[in-house]
Copies of this chain bind each other. A is one copy, B any other.
Amino acid sequence: MTAIPGNRKVTRKDVARYAGVSDAVVSYTLNGGAPVAPATAERVREAVRLLGYTPNASARALKLGSSHMIGVIVPDSTNPFWAELCRWVETVARSKGFAVLVLNANDSKAIRLEYLQTLASRQVDGVLLTGEIDALDVDRFNATGVRWAMLNQSTTIDGALGVGVDLAAGARDATAHLIWHGYTRIAFIGEMADARYGGWLSTLTEAGLAPGPLFDAKFTREGGYAAGQALAASHDSVDAVFVSSDMLASAVLRALHEADLAVPGEIAIASFDGSPESEYSWPALTTVRQPVQDLAAKAVAQLLHREQPPEDEQLLAGTLIVRQSCGCP
């Protein structure tokens, strides 16, 4: 295929020799900097194609300051929510000519910062970050010198660009739907520190209902299963439950099936995320779909163009998807 002996990497010199031009003309053609006659540029491009030349992007990034790459640092890419969000970030970024690198910080602030520094030193064009953030984090992120923005941020903080999902409003929609069905003893499964807890609580209070029992659960399948077993044990005092994520809800379903409790007949469920898994569970989960596509598009725009929407548009609304687990036909 090529005139290059052995397996050594094709260089700009090889391209120049093949095209019969100087090294500088190859560089002008590929990177700009000086005009090149169209026929000459065509010859250079033909040589690049024939020889399979890949410009050295580290060298080019140093010169041009752009690598056409963005990084995304998430807590755990095996969580279906993060997995789907990363895919959308990738789809949006790709349409703008950027490749996306995904890294897992394992819920560790130290690893998140380390990866941000690593990506910064690789001249990526920007990094989307997730998780908790405080003023000190803002300083540390700025010190890396790389563009950054928060992805899926539900609280605002000075100096940090970011959009997120209105978790409290979504939880209110789901809880209100369960109340509309006529359930009066509505439990909660999830983390109390999460905004969804507040949404569930305020909706019950405003409807004049006593809050049902609370089952604390981390966002893991094991956590959902344990909470589901506890729920099954106290099923006499519960007729419905709001569960903070689909992954938890799938494991809750399993625990209720095992205890031979009918869903929605004996305990109705409304959940949160709108993951593909929720659509194919048994019964299919009524859930608040997170606006992952919109979230990804806004986050990429913020990162690349520093576009910050007005404050009242920084929390995106989820959408209640009514299926069977709530009692709808």
Interface residues of A (CB under 8 A from B): 1-2, 7-10, 52, 54-62, 67, 69, 76-78, 80, 83-84, 86-87, 90, 99-104, 115, 117-118, 120-123, 139-140, 142-145, 221, 224-225, 250-251, 253-254, 257-258, 276-277, 279-284
Contact = CB atoms under 8 A, between A and B. Distances in A.
A56 B65 CA distance: 12
B99 A100 contact: no
27 contacts: A7-B142, A52-B140, A52-B143, A54-B145, A55-B121, A57-B121, A58-B61, A58-B121, A58-B122, A59-B62, A60-B121, A69-B118, A77-B83, A77-B86, A77-B102, A78-B86, A78-B276, A83-B83, A90-B104, A100-B103, A101-B102, A221-B277, A221-B280, A251-B280, A254-B280, A254-B281, A254-B284
Contacts of A139: 1
A256 B250 CA distance: 17
A276 B250 CA distance: 11
Interface centre among A8, A77, A221 (most CB of B within 10 A): A77
Q: Which 9 A-B pairs have the closest CB atoms?
A: A9-B145, A57-B121, A58-B58, A101-B101, A78-B83, A257-B282, A102-B102, A251-B280, A52-B143
Contact of A54 (B77, B121, B254): B121
A160 to B, nearest CB: 14
Nearest to A51: B143
Copies in the complex: 2
A290 to B, nearest CB: 14
Nearest to A258: B282
Given A54-B117, A62-B59, A123-B58, A250 B280 contact: yes
A94 to B, nearest CB: 9
